[in-house]
A and B are shown apart, each in its own frame.
Chain A
């Protein structure tokens, strides 16, 4: 690890040594060593799932490490939870804010530690202190306003004000700019620089390259739960950073399916949805697997949902076999032969209290003369279970009781029963174990080779690189590039997804 000037001048405020955190089936953080100095902006970068957020949660004592030691000013820390971390001056602003929208800014700032006299809240004192705190983060607004009436950026600054009100010496920001505009980001950076000038150490999680180079003093790159490098900004180029983030030799975990793309099946032209999707156009051929890559929040799920009628669109055309479809609700898309395997199968995919059979036939109930054909339903379900190898002791078993992989297969089975010709898979491997993953991808390959058009959304690039015939990359609601198989590389996709300029696309 190259030394920096700071190490000679100061001792680190935070030292992490051999921090390890395992989850079932995956080591999220592996033997991480990290030193944080007062007054520095330390960016932790890495792909989705590299372990950045988990590491920060360990520091903030939301997650307990399985091994390793955290030192604060040289003193080893014991684990007592976020309350304790905050009392020690470690504060964290989460990606999702933890403010109560129906309370005022001042009430939120002092929630749980209101200034009291004789059991009554000292409102004037609360307001005065709130104003002072807001000034410190450069927010000029009335602390009596309800949090719900603030913009996302203002809410974030309120969160930061709340964090520094605990006399934070270490401030953790988890992807703070995900939902901010350029001006709001500039303002946030100004506040961050003021804080570091006062000696606060800022830990900043991001995978947006442009930001990293704007704000970082030092950058730690994580990959697969490990720290691969900690470098001062001056020693980094975008190219080098991308290489460090990707790094791994692309392994062949996923069998490359044999696809034989035919004619264009689905064509989407100029699809827009205000604030979320901007002029998205793409096409998928029969028998082809098209990948949709991009950072979280880039609009991949939104695009799939819009095409499949789950969300309304403002403009754009959707054509299947050259025929324009008029999709107003999911039923229209299903009738036309589109299917959307949702990202969150428990929230959006399955009726968990219904049986395997009832979930499989939900979109294609066999009915004659108004009555359900229960025997037919049963045979359909049995057949689907065999075909997709859904392991369940009975087709009547509640879906809730199945494993994640089998639940996912139940969702897929439902769409095969509707004779879907175009299937959108949104993070199909999320939350299922390795064996089930391989099975799921083999299934997706088979569906493509049977002539269906597949759109595969994944945040894990190796999945896309192995499975897809082409990959469309999204950023901020736009499709910013489409790569054919010969052009595939993780560096290119990350460059497109993050908007890096130095990596040129032929």
Chain B
């Protein structure tokens, strides 16, 4: 009995093989299934587009896709954490604009070097995230409400500060962040990869990541297990703010100016990326890899639509349908797993 039991428990593919590919990927099999769905869709669409358009599979076009979606994807890394806690952050677009414009003004008005200004803009985003986190944990506002307010406050502030006009006069070197290349590889791509790997490690290999899942799966159980739920929730919203701030700086760099109207509606793209990638709005589920796939799925569809001369309105319809399908799939998956417990 004892023998068969221990064999049963370890009897899992890849369990013995030290550092197998499985160990680098998310551990939950059902997450893998949902990612395969999104990844499968991504691959099929890529194949279809490379047949339909000769331009699609060129390096230039692929880098173009990456550069265009980098900001969304960077901010979506944070949204993955937020949604896994069963929260939401509607303020990321406004916060990115506020942080980006303030970062630009640090260069233009204060004469800061661009790396310092990028750091400054990122920290502005972090402050907004801190405010969100405290509103949620201390003032006990629902995340939807807290961040809805922040969305309005941050957008208002950036327009007050700039008089609703763009800020010009950034040093040329600042363009490097959003437009530069290293050995022909766009810097936004490199940045995204570095941040995504870091976010993946944070989510799967640290206390913060584990507690993020635990809080989203069952907040009361997490609290009774001794987890300081409030502190970790604040940390998650600060992380989201930092990433929104940094994403705002990348976006400003791409246009080499401070645009107060940047990021209007960006929060919806970011949330869509996470949801398409398997994050459940009920919490407890989601992965960085999934979110990246979700972000790129949307980017590739938009890119393909441009290549095939499909207008933006139709693109919008297609994206909407994809969101529905992703969530229907997610619910189907949940039901099936729930049934198998009986």
Binding site for B on A (CB under 8 A): 308, 310, 329-331, 333-335, 340, 342, 347-355, 358, 362-363, 365, 367, 370-372, 374, 382, 385-386, 389, 391-396, 398, 400-402, 414, 418
A-B contact pairs, 7 of them (CB 8 A): A308-B224, A329-B223, A333-B226, A334-B225, A348-B224, A362-B222, A374-B205
Nearest Cβ on chain B to A361's Cβ, whole angstroms: 8
Given contacts A330-B223, A401-B337, 15 further A-B contacts (CB under 8 A): A330-B224, A350-B218, A351-B214, A351-B217, A352-B217, A354-B213, A354-B214, A358-B210, A358-B214, A363-B227, A365-B207, A371-B205, A395-B9, A396-B29, A401-B340
Q: Which residues of B contact A352 (CB under 8 A)?
A: 217-218
Q: How far is the CA of A362 from the CA of B214 in the complex (A)?
A: 8
Q: How far is the CA of A331 from the CA of B211 in the complex (A)?
A: 14
Closest residue of chain B to A363, judged by CB? B225
Q: How far is the CA of A40 from the CA of B8 in the complex (A)?
A: 61
Asked whether any CB of chain A lies closer than 8 Å to the CB of B284, the reply is yes
A348 is contacted by which of B201, B210, B220, B338 (Cβ under 8 Å)? B220
A386 and B5: CB pair below 8 A? Answer: yes
Binding site for A on B (CB under 8 A): 2, 5-6, 8-12, 15, 23, 27-30, 201, 204-207, 209-210, 213-214, 217-218, 220-228, 284-285, 337-338, 340-341
Q: Which residues of B contact A350 (CB under 8 A)?
A: 218, 221
Nearest Cβ on chain B to A157's Cβ, whole angstroms: 33
Nearest Cβ on chain B to A311's Cβ, whole angstroms: 10
Closest residue of chain B to A346, judged by CB? B218
Q: Which residues of B contact A382 (CB under 8 A)?
A: 6, 9-10
The number of inter-chain residue pairs (CB within 8 angstroms) is 118
Q: Which residues of A contact B225 (CB under 8 A)?
A: 330, 334, 362-363, 414
Q: Which residues of B contact A398 (CB under 8 A)?
A: 28, 30, 337
Q: Which residues of B contact A395 (CB under 8 A)?
A: 9
Q: Which residues of A contact B214 (CB under 8 A)?
A: 351, 354, 358, 362
B27 and A396: CB pair below 8 A? Answer: yes
Q: How far is the CA of A402 from the CA of B9 in the complex (A)?
A: 13
Q: Which residues of A contact B28 (CB under 8 A)?
A: 355, 396, 398
B9 is contacted by which of A310, A329, A394 (Cβ under 8 Å)? A394
Nearest Cβ on chain A to B272's Cβ, whole angstroms: 22
B285 and A353: CB pair below 8 A? Answer: yes
Q: How far is the CA of A400 from the CA of B225 in the complex (A)?
A: 18
B218 is contacted by which of A351, A355, A371, A391 (Cβ under 8 Å)? A351
Q: Which residues of B contact A374 (CB under 8 A)?
A: 23, 205
Q: Which residues of B contact A392 (CB under 8 A)?
A: 8-9
A351 and B213: CB pair below 8 A? Answer: yes
